[in-house]
């Protein structure tokens, strides 16, 4: 097979929202640099925004004095049960408006309120857009900014510098179309490879397995690449469970916030307030936060479902009283979750006439939503202090290795606009890292490393070729595992031992240790993955990335001896929030040489005062 070497100054892994922001900004500040994007899909429709979006969920509106970055930090801190990197969240908030104004100039149709002449608000932080072409528009800007975009190249490994193992020198991957082995050598690398689905068993089965709320092509590469490179990770136990329309996974934001729909139990009763005192006993004053934290809303719903009073209904029929509202409700799904419209059509559910069912999803791993798993990153020098800053903004603990969007931990509620903004921050910082002479030498990869990574990447094809002749035909072989079979094993382990929907998101130390044992065996079995063709080879590496992500999630969940985010995950052996001991970040690092993990805590630092201080 061919080996293709690509040299650049800045390599961006993943051309989704964050990767596109990184390319744009790196080019703005680094006019003469070579900027390369390696994208697993096709940049025009790759990533979680492939279908489009109907709202931008992170916009301050500072020009109309609607919100300040301080307000935003308070909101996100409350929603995440008091545990966020306030410096990173503040940084997104103070820049995000300029990103949204840029989008509008580029041609993204933003909805205006005819009376106020301002952007129409869906909620305090959300604005409505006609976002079918959100991704193609953003991709157009990024494609113009980048020197080259390599579509259909899946990055499988980061490559360390030959002389300094904690410094980045590039990345390697598979050309999924041309079958080539790609080696990218770069002075700075920005990982923007999105979140992770199919780590936990999805609610959907069979043909519908692809119907996860977050995209099935979010395969945890962002986390696995960084973990394997020895970067420090944070909040990996902060998995996300979202309440969505049942089966179709239609988002609820526009319905609850803009259309003011309400939810009830099977008998039409409001249930959310009912559990407040039980919740207070376990989770303390967080129950008084306004708005009510997302995970506690899930918790109330789960209590009602366990009490046998499901289905939970969302009463669309009570709010769609005009054609305008009917259009808004439908556009919400047609712009970002067509499957929900198909569920309505196929099951004869006219939302004007009948309510729909709601259900909490399987857990996802993300850094950009109402959750913040990901890499531990250096913050901006004017906001961050102490353990939060060691160099360039959004640089991980590996020198020259940056991240943005779902990749970066501790900074929730970025969504699409904030992820693009964080990409911009990382893009500028990467240029500064290069320009300031941190790297005048060419990136150097150790002799023999390229060959050994190549052999490792393509091994599943060899395994398949050899094993294939030892059975007549079919999918059952003692010599290899198909990637799909491995995914199902992973999902089952995570669901049953690490708190998936099948166990009501509940786990304990004994379950977790047993899960770790089984995950270890799965890890060993991955040496026997078989890939029939290039496509299956991509699936094999996606699985490997998911498994490494899963291991981090499990180890973090085991380490945090409390239930910080009920409704996302419960430690039944430590059922309450324990602020005295656990109002800290759980961080981890896996030694790239030995594969040994270390887990430890990092302090929470308050940047923005609470109300009245």
Partner 1 sequence: MPTYVNPNKCDGCGKCVDICPSDIMRLSNSIFSGRKAYNVEPNYCWECYSCVKECPQHAIDMRGYADFAPLDHKLTVLRDKETNEVRWKLKYRDGSKNEFAFPIRTTTWGSIPSPQSQKTPTNEQFDSQLLSHEPEYLKTDRGLVTAKR
Secondary element (H or E) of residue 74: helix 69-79
Residue 31 annotated in active site:
no
Q: Are 304 and 265 spatial neighbours (Cβ–Cβ below 8 Å)?
A: yes
Residue 288 annotated in active site:
no
Closest chain position to ligand FAD (CB) = 16
Helices (H), 171-275: 221-228, 253
Confirm or reject binding of residue 208 to partner 1 (CB under 8 A). Answer: yes
Q: In the complex with ligand FAD, which residue's Cβ is closer, 123 or 502?
A: 123
Q: In the complex with ligand FAD, which residue's Cβ is closer, 20 or 287?
A: 20
Applying CB under 6 A, what is the total number of residues that bind ligand FAD? 42
Taking the C-alpha atoms of residue 219 and residue 207, their distance in angstroms, rounded to an integer, is 19
Which residues in the 21-80 window bind ligand FAD by CB under 6 A?
38-41, 46-49, 53-57
Confirm or reject binding of residue 118 to partner 1 (CB under 8 A). Answer: no
Taking the C-alpha atoms of residue 529 and residue 543, their distance in angstroms, rounded to an integer, is 10
Residue 244 annotated in active site:
yes
Which residue of the set 122, 272, 496, 551 is catalytic?
122
Site string for ligand FAD, 235-254 (x = CB under 6 A): ----------------x---
Binding segment for ligand FAD (CB under 6 A), chosen from 100-108, 191-199, 308-316, 387-395, is 191-199
| Selection from 33, 40, 26 nearest residue 8 by Cα | 33
Confirm or reject binding of residue 62 to partner 1 (CB under 8 A). Answer: yes
Residue 299 annotated in active site:
no
**DSSP labels for 429-468?**
HHHHHIIIIIT-SPP---TTHHHHHHHHHHHHHHHHHHHH
Q: Identify the bridge partners of residue 405 per DSSP, sorted by sequence position.
A: none
- Nearest approach, Cβ of 325 to partner 1 (angstroms)? 13
Q: In the complex with partner 1, which residue's Cβ is closer, 403 or 567?
A: 403
For residue 59, count CB atoms less than 10 angstroms from its CB and return exposed for 0-12, middle for 13-18, buried for 19 or more: buried
Which residue of the set 121, 185, 198, 369 is catalytic?
369
Confirm or reject binding of residue 245 to partner 1 (CB under 8 A). Answer: no
Which partner in ligand FAD, partner 1, none is near 132 (CB below 5 to 8 A by kind)?
partner 1
Question: Which value, to the nearest 10 degrees, does the dihedral of the CA atoms of residues 380, 407, 426, 377 take?
Answer: 30
Question: 3-state class of 196 per DSSP?
Answer: strand
Which residue of the set 54, 57, 356, 419 is catalytic?
57
Q: Identify the bridge partners of residue 297 per DSSP, sorted by sequence position.
A: none
Q: Are 598 and 589 spatial neighbours (Cβ–Cβ below 8 Å)?
A: yes
Confirm or reject binding of residue 225 to partner 1 (CB under 8 A). Answer: no
Q: Are 128 and 59 spatial neighbours (Cβ–Cβ below 8 Å)?
A: no
Confirm or reject binding of residue 18 to ligand FAD (CB under 6 A). Answer: yes
Confirm or reject binding of residue 90 to partner 1 (CB under 8 A). Answer: yes
Residue 78 annotated in active site:
no
Which partner in partner 1, ligand FAD, none is near 27 (CB below 5 to 8 A by kind)?
partner 1
Confirm or reject binding of residue 379 to partner 1 (CB under 8 A). Answer: no
Taking the C-alpha atoms of residue 67 and residue 92, their distance in angstroms, rounded to an integer, is 13
Site string for partner 1, 264-293 (x = CB under 8 A): ------------------------------
Q: In the complex with partner 1, which residue's Cβ is closer, 255 or 568?
A: 255
Which partner in ligand FAD, partner 1, none is near 218 (CB below 5 to 8 A by kind)?
ligand FAD
Which residues in the 295-334 window bind partner 1 by CB under 8 A?
327, 330-331, 334
Residue 332 annotated in active site:
yes
Confirm or reject binding of residue 336 to ligand FAD (CB under 6 A). Answer: yes
Which residues in the 415-444 window bind partner 1 by CB under 8 A?
421, 424-425, 428, 432, 435
Residue 122 annotated in active site:
yes
- Nearest approach, Cβ of 344 to ligand FAD (angstroms)? 16
Confirm or reject binding of residue 13 to ligand FAD (CB under 6 A). Answer: yes
Return phi, psi of residue 5, to 5°. Answer: -100, 130
For residue 357, count CB atoms less than 10 angstroms from its CB and return exposed for 0-12, middle for 13-18, buried for 19 or more: middle
CA 328-126-241 angle, to 5 degrees, is 90
Of these, 10, 16, 84, 314, which contacts ligand FAD (CB under 6 A)?
A: 16
Q: What are the b/e assignments for 575-599, b being 16+ CB within 10 Å?
A: bebebeebbebbbbbbebeeeebeb
Return phi, psi of residue 589, to 5°. Answer: -145, 135
Binding segment for partner 1 (CB under 8 A), chosen from 60-68, 257-265, 274-282, 491-499, is 60-68
- Nearest approach, Cβ of 250 to ligand FAD (angstroms)? 8
Taking the C-alpha atoms of residue 152 and residue 165, their distance in angstroms, rounded to an integer, is 28
Q: In the complex with ligand FAD, which residue's Cβ is closer, 40 or 428?
A: 40
Taking the C-alpha atoms of residue 231 and residue 242, their distance in angstroms, rounded to an integer, is 28
List residues with catalytic annotation.
Answer: 57, 122, 213, 244, 332, 369, 416
Positions in the binding site for ligand FAD (CB under 6 A): 13-19, 38-41, 46-49, 53-57, 154-155, 192-194, 213-215, 217-219, 221, 251, 336-337, 368, 405-406, 415-417, 419
């Amino acid at each position: 097979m061919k080996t293709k070497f690509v040299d650049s100054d800045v390599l961006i892994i993943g051309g989704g929202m964050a990767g596109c922001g990184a390319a744009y900004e790196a080019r703005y500040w680094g006019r003469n640099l070579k900027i390369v994007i390696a994208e697993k899909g096709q940049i025009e429709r790759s990533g979680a925004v492939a279908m489009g979006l109907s709202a931008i969920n992170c916009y301050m509106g500072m020009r109309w004095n609607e919100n300040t970055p301080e307000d935003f930090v308070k909101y996100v801190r409350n929603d995440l049960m008091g545990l966020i990197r306030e410096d990173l969240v503040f940084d997104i908030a103070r820049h995000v408006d300029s990103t949204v104004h840029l989008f509008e100039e580029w041609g993204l149709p933003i909805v205006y309120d005819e009376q106020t002449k301002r952007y129409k608000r869906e909620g305090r932080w959300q604005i409505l857009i006609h976002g079918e072409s959100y991704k193609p528009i953003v991709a157009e800007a990024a494609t113009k900014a980048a020197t080259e975009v390599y579509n259909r190249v899946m990055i499988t490994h980061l490559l360390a510098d030959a002389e300094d193992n904690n410094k980045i020198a590039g990345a390697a991957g598979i050309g999924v179309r041309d079958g080539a082995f790609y080696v990218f050598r770069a002075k700075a690398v920005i990982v923007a490879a999105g979140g992770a689905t199919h780590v936990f068993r999805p609610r959907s089965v069979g043909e519908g397995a692809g119907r996860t709320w977050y995209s099935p092509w979010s395969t945890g590469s962002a986390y696995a690449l960084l973990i394997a490179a020895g970067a420090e990770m944070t909040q990996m136990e902060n998995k996300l469970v979202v309440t969505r329309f049942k089966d179709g996974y239609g988002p609820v934001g526009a319905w609850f916030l803009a259309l003011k729909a309400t939810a009830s139990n099977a008998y039409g009763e409001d249930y959310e307030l009912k559990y407040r005192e039980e919740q207070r006993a376990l989770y303390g004053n967080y129950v008084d936060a306004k708005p009510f934290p997302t995970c506690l809303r899930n918790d109330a719903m789960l209590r009602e479902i366990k009490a046998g009073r499901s289905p939970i209904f969302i009463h669309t029929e009570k709010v769609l009283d005009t054609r305008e509202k009917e259009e808004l409700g439908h556009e919400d799904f047609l712009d970002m979750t067509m499957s929900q419209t198909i569920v309505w059509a196929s099951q004869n559910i006219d939302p004007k006439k009948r309510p729909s069912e709601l259900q909490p999803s399987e857990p996802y791993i993300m850094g950009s939503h109402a959750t913040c798993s990901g890499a531990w990153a250096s913050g901006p020098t004017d906001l961050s202090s102490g353990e939060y800053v060691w160099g360039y903004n959004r640089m991980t603990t590996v020198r020259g290795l940056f991240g943005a969007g779902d990749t970066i931990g501790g900074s929730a509620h970025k969504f699409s606009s904030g992820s693009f903004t964080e990409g911009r921050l990382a893009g500028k910082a990467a240029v500064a890292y290069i320009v300031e002479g941190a790297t005048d030498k060419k990136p150097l990869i150790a002799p023999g490393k390229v060959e050994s990574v190549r052999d490792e990447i393509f091994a599943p094809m060899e395994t398949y070729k050899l094993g294939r002749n030892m059975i007549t035909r079919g999918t059952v072989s003692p010599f290899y595992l198909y990637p799909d079979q491995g995914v199902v094993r992973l999902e089952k382990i995570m669901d049953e031992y690490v708190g998936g929907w099948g166990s009501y998101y509940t786990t304990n130390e004994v379950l977790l240790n047993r899960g770790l044992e089984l995950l270890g065996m799965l890890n060993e079995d991955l040496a026997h993955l078989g890939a029939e063709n290039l496509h299956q080879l991509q699936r094999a590496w996606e699985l490997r990335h998911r498994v490494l992500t899963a291991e981090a999630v499990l180890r973090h969940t085991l380490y945090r001896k409390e239930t910080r985010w009920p409704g996302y995950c419960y430690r039944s052996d430590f059922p309450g929030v324990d602020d005295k001991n656990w109002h800290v970040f759980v961080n981890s690092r896996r030694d790239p040489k030995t594969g040994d993990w270390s887990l430890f805590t990092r302090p929470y630092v308050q940047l923005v005062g609470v109300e009245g201080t």
